[in-house]
Amino acid sequence: MALIPSEQALSLLNDLERRVLADPEAAAEWHLAWQEFGSGTADPSTWERFRQWFFIERPASRWGAPPLTFFAPQSIDRESPWHLLMDTFLGIFQRGETVQEGPLTLQDLWTGRTILVDGWGSADWIGENTLVIGRFLESSMGRFQAMAGVFALQAEGLPTAVQADIQRIHKENPRSRLSQLECERLFATHPAASIPESAQVHQFQNRSLELALAQVLAEVPEWDLTRLVQNLEEEGLSDTLARLAFETDADLETLRRLLPEFQNQLQQFSTARPRIQSEEAAPEKSPTTETHSPAASVEEALQRFDDGRSQGRSLDALFRDLEADLGLEEGSSYTPELALEGNGSEKMGPDQLPGFGVFLQTYQWEREQKNLPLEGRERRSLQALGSFLDATHPQGINVLNLTAAQVVAFFMTAPDPESLTERRHGLASFLEWLQQEQDAPLGDFAEALLGDLGHRILALVQINHALADQPRQQSAVVVQEQPLAVAAAEGESALVEGFPQDLASQAQAILRGDHLYGRWNQGRFQIGAVIPKEALPAAPAG
């Protein structure tokens, strides 16, 4: 029997989740995004909305596009689940005018569009002061179904107030788009938010969660409820799911459905176990040696740190040794966040990135010795780079291994041309220092950044900024520059359309091998964004 549209969409979301968790870099980004979206909450409805945002809307640093767009086949049938998800409708809805005996109508305050909703009956709970917020997918011609996680909010005068805010936003920026992340922050955390019974993600109806989970784990070697509880307490929900995905053939879909509620119960009924270390305890010494000989170089110091961490040595001892190697004040490198000197608000990367933090402190110290303290734009640019490295390499990255492709990818995340210009000039001296003083493998990148390559990146960011409202659901590779064309099926090429007329001169910045994101339209490719080939990882040798 064929799956109904909502089941097709859910099946594709589950498939995308498996693909993301199977890629270590993408999985790391997934975990960080979950903390950003849901703050680690175990609510199953929040989890579903997060998955929709991550797969449909949020561009992944790993691929430069949302996973749904990146993995989509080149040719998509209108009846396929890919088309269903790409055409989902996110909105802030109030009840529309409903003809007697007719289907429920909802009107989106953001676009003014009205949809007919199946599966909710008369929905008497939607009153004049009620807003319904979430994604809907088209189940049949002109009819829509609610996706999991849709929620309602009710308060006196709420629709009127929200509509006034939306009108103000449209007046200030007519091209602004509705974001699921912003909806989550503005509405989902409100105490009055609730999940309509007809839109519940799932209801356990007093079933034994332990029994259900035990049945799943019975097929998984070396896993049982005891280990599951331990992992949830020590690693959290998303990391536990990732471990199960990486290490086992467990039924991930069932676990993803059961574990949020199970963790919720653990948090409600577990007894807190404070971890208090005696203030009189002596600092732990290295298990391998009682003395420490200074490293000959910064690179050797970082290598010693990495080797010690892989051997399971105490982080306290490792950071003390690292500080001694680099001549830093004791305790200066082992902090939750590394901050540049300034007003105290410019936070840098976390302690998973000791390489970046240490190099940053060394660079800042050398600049100060030359009476050249960091400027504001340099501090802001380094802060942005630290955040980018944190998101794309949560396990840490040795800055000596920083590649030109990673830096170009960072520049392409600039929200607008002005931000890019600040980043280019703000990082130029730091990149030159890495290359010349620390022998980082950047070649002539720092010089090129202020020359032709920098101008090319600026032109592409201008193009992407102008195309911000265009669809970016499919991808294609540029095979011809004049006229612009991309690879199509069976070795053919297809012309690119939809390029902004006022940016005709910037079109010269698009080169053969660049990746375009957009949508196929009657044999032509409608452009939505450009990713330069310099930002793509190098192909493996052989």
Contact indicator for 111, 138 with CB cutoff of 8 Å: no
Q: pLDDT confidence of 93, banded at 50, 70, 90?
A: very high
d(CA 407, CA 55): 24
Which pLDDT score is estimated for 52? 94
The residue whose two tokens read 């600092």 is 283
Which pLDDT score is estimated for 287? 36
- Coil, strand or helix at 395: coil
pLDDT at 279 over 50: no
d(CA 31, CA 258): 18
Query: What is the average pLDDT across 350-371?
Result: 68
More confident residue, 253 or 275: 253
pLDDT at 197 over 60: no
Give per-residue pLDDT as tens, 97-149.
766 666 789 999 999 999 998 877 777 788 888 999 999 998 777 789 888 88
d(CA 503, CA 463): 7
pLDDT at 67 over 90: yes
d(CA 91, CA 111): 8
If one counts every other C-beta atom within 10 angstroms of the C-beta of residue 367, the result is 17
If one counts every other C-beta atom within 10 angstroms of the C-beta of residue 178, the result is 18
pLDDT at 513 over 80: yes
Q: Which of 128-132, 241-245, 379-383, 451-455 has the least mean pLDDT? A: 241-245
Amino acid symbol at 106 = L
pLDDT at 198 over 80: no
d(CA 25, CA 393): 7
More confident residue, 133 or 435: 133
Boundaries of every domain in the chain? 5-199, 209-268, 290-334, 345-450, 460-535
Q: pLDDT confidence of 205, banded at 50, 70, 90?
A: very low
Q: pLDDT confidence of 409, banded at 50, 70, 90?
A: confident
Question: Degrees (nearest 5) of the Cα angle 77, 56, 392?
Answer: 130
Helix or strand run (H / E) with residue 144: strand 143-146
Q: pLDDT confidence of 303, banded at 50, 70, 90?
A: low
Which pLDDT score is estimated for 110? 92
Which pLDDT score is estimated for 309? 52
Highest CATH level, class, for 460-535: mainly beta
Query: What is the average pLDDT across 253-273?
Result: 66
Which pLDDT score is estimated for 299? 56
pLDDT at 90 over 90: yes
Percentage of residues of the chain with pLDDT beyond 70 = 70
Which pLDDT score is estimated for 295? 58
Radius of gyration of the chain (CA): 26
Contact indicator for 467, 497 with CB cutoff of 8 Å: no
Residue 397 DSSP one-character state: -
pLDDT at 217 over 80: no
Which pLDDT score is estimated for 313? 56
- Average pLDDT of the chain, as a whole number: 75
Contact indicator for 423, 436 with CB cutoff of 8 Å: no
Which pLDDT score is estimated for 170? 86
Give per-residue pLDDT as tens, 227-239.
787 788 777 887 7
Which pLDDT score is estimated for 322? 62
Q: pLDDT confidence of 194, banded at 50, 70, 90?
A: low
More confident residue, 280 or 502: 502
d(CA 187, CA 502): 38
Q: What are phi and psi of 13, to 5 degrees?
A: -60, -40
Q: Per 3-state DSSP, what percentage of the chain is helix, strand, and coil (rounded to 5)?
A: 50, 15, 40
More confident residue, 296 or 436: 436
Q: pLDDT confidence of 200, banded at 50, 70, 90?
A: very low
Which pLDDT score is estimated for 91? 94
Query: What is the average pLDDT across 5-33?
Result: 83
d(CA 153, CA 149): 13
